[in-house]
């Protein structure tokens, strides 16, 4: 099995398991454990958002699908790092958070350029729309 296909299947299974857990009990919502601790919850919310913004349908192009799934993944890292910048106390950790933001923003821009080259519009906000557009071509 190709590694990228395995990655997509693993991510899909995680989403499906999260949906099953959300219907049951156990403190899971869309695959993410939520916490009563506001600081931890602030760090977990970007991950929850990531899972809800990833495309749920394929473009039919594994390269585009990979990029469309990685953009929300990177955006969640940026959002988590921003929480640390706002709430963190340790200057070394805050410096790492800024490094994460800088690197992930640059990689998102690069991935969006690749999507454009592939003829697929989209990114974190328009991933589902882009998947639909590419599938209809």
CATH architecture of the domain 61-137 equals Up-down Bundle (1.20)
**C-alpha gyration radius of the chain:** 16
- Give the pLDDT means over successive 10-residue stretches in the chain (137 positions): 45 45 40 63 72 79 94 93 94 98 97 95 49 42
Amino acid 93: pLDDT: 98
Per-domain residue ranges of the chain: 61-137
List all residues 6 or more positions away from 73 whose beta carbon is below 8 Å from its beta carbon: 50, 54
Tokens for 68, please give them: 């469309």
Query: Distance between CA 75 and CA 81 in Å, rounded?
Result: 10
């Amino acid at each position: 099995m190709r590694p990228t296909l395995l990655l997509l299947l693993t991510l899909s299974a995680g989403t499906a398991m999260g949906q099953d857990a959300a219907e049951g009990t156990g403190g899971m919502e869309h695959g993410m454990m939520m916490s009563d601790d506001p600081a931890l919850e602030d760090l977990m919310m970007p991950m929850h958002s990531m899972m809800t913004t990833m495309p749920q349908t394929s473009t039919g192009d594994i390269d585009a699908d990979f990029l469309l799934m990685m953009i929300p993944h990177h955006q969640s890292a940026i959002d988590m790092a921003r929480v640390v910048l706002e709430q963190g106390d340790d200057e070394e950790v805050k410096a790492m958070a800024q490094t994460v933001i800088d690197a992930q923003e640059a990689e998102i821009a690069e991935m969006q350029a690749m999507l454009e080259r592939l003829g697929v519009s989209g990114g974190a906000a328009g991933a589902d729309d882009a998947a639909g557009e590419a599938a209809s071509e």
